[in-house]
Amino acid sequence: MLEGKTAFVTGGSGAVGSAIVRVLAREGARVAFSFHSHGERASALEAQCRADGRLVRAYPLDVLDAKACQSTAKAVEDEVGPVDVLVNNAGVTQVMPFAMIEEKDWDQMMDVNVKGMFLVTKAFARGMIRRRSGGIINMGSRAGMRVLDVPVHYAAAKSAVTGFTLSLARELGRYNIRVNAVVPGMLTGGVSDNVPPKQRDKYNEFCCLSRAGEPAEVAELVAFLASDRAGYVNAQSLFVDGGI
Ligand SMILES: NC(=O)c1ccc[n+]([C@@H]2O[C@H](COP(=O)([O-])OP(=O)(O)OC[C@H]3O[C@@H](n4cnc5c(N)ncnc54)[C@H](OP(=O)(O)O)[C@@H]3O)[C@@H](O)[C@H]2O)c1
């Protein structure tokens, strides 16, 4: 489905990002991905994929470092290939009631989840615009779309992903670049690791499938959106949440 395409995935060292890297590589894409603090996980993922005969390469990147975003984009384009698909997946959360959220917590949520997405997109969009072709997939969350028991600063940041996706799709459509968001519900692993058991039970109660999703189930949707099969899917926020 993705033969001949090159993808860049942020946060490939995490639960969802590593699943995305695996599925995109399995579908035939050349995949570059970034990690931040977990270099050992990145190396292990790179080694596993390569052992399976896939072309996968890891890059260290703090998505808040604008210069590093630019130089990583250049390195990926030189070393792996012109990027057709960008997946803005890196993100963080904190489980915290509103009254406990301090300014630094608010800033961290907005910085990594929103500003990071902006800086990385800016670095990669230029090449896509030049080539008049590309796909950008942003990682949203149900937290930013519905009334839920979730931390307010995380919900606000994920809500921003929707606005970013809509207006960017409008602006880049003229260059044949599609921009979509994937909106997972509660998954096993990653940022859901700290969700208290009571809230997990509540999610399962309201979810039609009565379970958390798997990161790989999110990755399958990302692969479809990245492919030419999704050629007329644009400016969408697609839920992958088991039905709530
Ligand atoms: N898991 C869920 O239930 C769920 C549900 C809805 C949405 N999501 C979204 O899915 C995305 C991935 O989350 P996850 O569950 O896979 O969490 P995760 O396992 O904690 O992974 C987060 C990833 O983001 C990277 N990252 C964090 N800060 C960074 C920074 N400053 N610069 C660059 N990279 C940074 C981490 O890199 P290092 O580990 O190398 O530091 C890691 O690869 C997030 O956007 C999250 O909001 C997850």
**Does a structural domain hold residue 214?**
yes
Distances (CA, A) of 203 to 91, 97, 185, 199, 211: 21, 18, 9, 6, 8
pLDDT of residue 148: 87
How far apart are alpha carbons 175 and 172 in whole angstroms? 5
**Does a structural domain hold residue 27?**
yes
Report the atom number in ligand 1 closest to the C-alpha of 10.
Answer: 34
pLDDT digit string (tens) for the chain, length 244 residues: 999 999 999 999 999 999 999 999 999 999 999 999 999 999 999 999 999 999 999 999 999 999 999 999 999 999 999 999 999 999 999 999 999 999 999 999 999 999 999 999 999 999 999 999 999 999 999 999 998 889 999 999 999 999 999 999 999 999 999 999 999 999 999 999 989 999 999 999 999 999 999 999 999 999 999 999 999 999 999 999 999 9
For a ligand 1 pocket test, name from 33, 36, 138, 240 the mutation site with the most ligand atoms within 8 angstroms of its C-beta: 36
The residues lining ligand 1, judged by C-beta closer than 6 Å to any ligand atom, are 10-11, 13-17, 34-38, 61-64, 89-92, 112, 116, 139, 141, 184, 186-187, 189-192
DSSP state of 212: P
Domain count, the chain: 1
232 has catalytic annotation:
no
Q: Are 21 and 49 in contact (CB under 8 A)?
A: yes
pLDDT of residue 147: 87
**Does a structural domain hold residue 186?**
yes
For a ligand 1 pocket test, name from 13, 63, 65 the mutation site with the most ligand atoms within 8 angstroms of its C-beta: 13
DSSP state of 109: H
**Does a structural domain hold residue 154?**
yes
Q: Are 165 and 118 in contact (CB under 8 A)?
A: no
How far apart are alpha carbons 21 and 28 in whole angstroms? 11
Nearest residue (by CA) to ligand 1, atom 39, is 38
pTM: 0.98
pLDDT of residue 127: 98
pLDDT of residue 95: 93
- In a 13 Å sphere around the CA of 238, the CA atoms on its Cβ side amount to 20
**Does a structural domain hold residue 97?**
yes
Angle at 31 between CA 28 and CA 37, to 5 degrees: 145
- At 73, which CATH number? 3.40.50.720
Report the atom number in ligand 1 closest to the C-alpha of 16.
Answer: 16
Q: Are 15 and 187 in contact (CB under 8 A)?
A: yes
Q: Are 146 and 243 in contact (CB under 8 A)?
A: no
Question: Which helix H or strand E contains 237, and what residues bound it?
Answer: strand 237-240
> Please, what is the end-to-end C-alpha distance for the chain in angstroms?
29
**Does a structural domain hold residue 1?**
no
Residue 65 lies in domain: 6-240
**Does a structural domain hold residue 212?**
yes
pLDDT of residue 194: 87
